[in-house]
Amino acid sequence: MSKTVNLAGQEVPVTGADDSAVDAALASSQFQAWKSAFERDSAGKVTVKSIEIQSVDMFGPRVGFLKFKADAVLAESGKFVPGIVFARGGAVAVLVIVEADGEEPRALLTVQPRVAVGSPGLREIPAGMLDGSGNFQGVAAKELQEETGIVIQNSDLVDISAPIATALSTQGIYPSPGACDEFIRYYSFVKKVTKEELAAMLSKVYGDHSEGEHIRLEAVPLKDLPYATADSKTLTAIALYEAARRKDKLQGPAVFV
């Protein structure tokens, strides 16, 4: 059975494998965020003729991942534009720098299996999906505790993506906008520790095991960080952190010495 959604004043037909999947998709925070963004930025410029809900992955009672295809054309010319969307919503990521007893500063990286890229242990900065509350710093602090054991106050985090988000009126930075709606808000945090505290941190396994997380930590010398991983979150965080240090006089050790 076909349903419709009002998109920028137009009733757009929506189809899917079954009504329950379509209903869950249309009510999801991911679809509603996409709809709001489309109506704000693309109304009158891009026309959506129809939407096909292709898959819905539930995380307990809520939609975790959503994939749909919009039959979209440029409003002025009628020319086709790609409309496949993998909607997963926003995320936060934290560049954590530790300074241990006068040693060179190091970045804490999580190491965990990433089946999507065929890796048994990909190095990344701590990160996690937003919970829909809009409390970016609170989620970042929660993820930091889950993935590193570090307990901090929200105010301890420096929002290094704020200048771009503010200037461009976005919620964060888009890592793969060709097909994914995900945006990431980036933070930095510098912590002084003893050698013993750092060794203890590196000896543990972290993460929410009920969600399949099995995370260990590595402390990579800050000067080596740009070449230590192929994770785009880490490389983006480096650029934002260094820009903040140079432009806004952010306190912290330099990556590029």
The pair phi, psi for residue 251, each rounded to 5°, is -80, 135
Determine the pLDDT at residue 252: 84
Integer angstrom CA distances of residue 240 from 78, 102, 122, 172, 215:
38, 25, 21, 12, 25
Residues whose CB is less than 8 angstroms from the CB of residue 146 and which lie 6 or more positions away in sequence, other chains included? 128, 206, 207, 208, 213
Determine the pLDDT at residue 1: 56
For residue 191, what are the β-bridge partners?
Answer: 98
Residue pair 236/127 in contact (Cβ under 8 Å)? The answer is no
Low-confidence ranges of the chain (pLDDT < 50): none
CB 120: neighbour CB atoms within 10 A? 9
Condensed to tens digits (0 to 9), the pLDDT of residues 94-151 reads 999 999 988 899 999 999 999 999 999 999 999 999 877 668 889 999 989 999 999 9
Q: What is the residue-averaged pLDDT of the chain?
A: 93
Q: Map tokens 């009002």 to a residue.
A: 6
Segments in the chain forming alpha helices (H): 19-27, 29-41, 136-148, 162-168, 195-202, 232-248
Q: Tell me the whole-structure pTM to 2 decimals.
A: 0.92
Integer angstrom CA distances of residue 135 from 29, 31, 138, 218, 225:
15, 19, 5, 28, 28
